[in-house]
Amino acid sequence: MIRFALLALLYLQNAQGRNIVLTNDDGWAVALVRAQNDALKAAGHNVVLSCPAENKSGTGSSSAPATVLASPCEFNTCPTGSPAEGFNASDPHLNYVNAFPVDSARYGMQTLAPQFFNGSAPDFVVSGPNVGNNLGTTVLNSGTVGAACEAARERIPSIAFSAATGSQVSYTTLESNPNSADSLAARTYAALGVQFVQALTVAEGTILPTSVSVNVNFPSTDHCPDASNFSFVLSRINEDKSATDVEWCGTTNLPTESNVVKQGCFASVSVFNASTKGDVDADTQAFVLDRINGILTCLSSGENDNGHVADDGVTMETTTKTATTMAVAMVMMAMAG
């Protein structure tokens, strides 16, 4: 076990650290996004957080100029009258924007990234994990998805993470109540987020096609308490039995993300158009599949929701997946302890 743990940590050390802007729609002080911030940094990435000053869930791609705070930031993390954009006095990498998720993402990419990344744009934008799933047509109103779309429209590759377990609680609970359901779920989802980011970004070359993003939904942690319990399944946002998707798991019609997350410890992975927030064509799906197929699996048995039988025997986890999740989990446990 010790030998494997050392190998796992070595894998993280050898993985290429990226310059990442982290955003969301639930606000800059929620436990889920702060746990994700900690996990990405622990994995060797350079991270600057740029999130709304308060909960802006369900605001889609709305945008407005940032304004002075007329009321305190969420969880009283900044007082009334605070500037339109601000940061944590003890860590300037933690920033709020008193506007919508899209504006927070834009501020992170255009203003903060050059400051923290030696004048460069970010390599990648992570939006979330969101408190609650964003499945099917809900992506149209999701601020988490909207922020990821804004990044893609600015030619910065991005991903939207959403999580079934968790509630709108302060990041302080990660330390004050580390064994609560919210804290445990936040760390599990954070480890999964790192695992997926590593898989997508570790190879050289273009991370994602222009104007394309990825919507990832994590199921409940009720029966999947550890990141190693989860598997990723390639999916589509909207059901369309006439669509011809990339060939994967013995079919050219991918399961919907809603169906995937109902199957157990499976996280859905849908590639989507950042302008329409709809599914992309098979060639675009294939591009993303080629980068992440090492962590993907098929639905373990039976039929997917489009009536196609999945291949059997493709559910084993790869060494890379296991090493990554274990290493991140070890680091997160050390930080929590």
**Is residue 88's pLDDT more than 80?**
yes
Beta-carbon count within 10 A of 170 CB: 17
| 124 has pLDDT over 70 | yes
In Å, how far are 20, 154, 261 from 193, measured between CA atoms?
13, 22, 16
pLDDT band at 300 (very low <50, low <70, confident <90, very high): low
Q: Comparing 337 with 48, which gets the higher pLDDT?
A: 48
Q: What are phi and psi of 193, to 5 degrees?
A: -60, -45
Tell me which CATH code domain 2-336 carries. 3.40.1210.10
| pLDDT score, position 317 | 38
Whether the CA torsion 324, 329, 330, 336 is positive or negative: it is positive
Q: Where are the domains of the chain?
A: 2-336
- Do the bridges between strand 46-52 and strand 91-97 make them parallel or antiparallel, or are there none, so unpaired? parallel
* Average pLDDT value for residue range 116-129: 98
Question: How confident is residue 309, by pLDDT bands cut at 50, 70 and 90?
Answer: very low
Instruction: Give me the mean pLDDT over the 149-169 stretch.
Output: 97
Per-residue model confidence (pLDDT) at position 306: 44
Three-state SS for 234? strand
Min mean pLDDT across 12-26, 151-165, 267-281 is at 12-26
Q: What is the pLDDT of residues 54-63, one digit of tens each?
A: 999 999 999 9
Average pLDDT of the residues in 41-60: 98
Q: What is the pLDDT of residue 8?
A: 45
Inter-residue contact 320 to 11 (CB < 8 Å): yes
Give the pLDDT of residue 90: 95
Q: What is the mean pLDDT of the chain?
A: 89
pLDDT tens for residues 96-109?
Answer: 999 999 999 999 99
Please give the pLDDT value at position 15.
57
Task: Report the percentage of the chain scoring pLDDT > 90.
Answer: 84
Q: Does residue 246 surpass a pLDDT of 70?
A: yes
* 19-23 and 46-52 beta bridge pairing: parallel
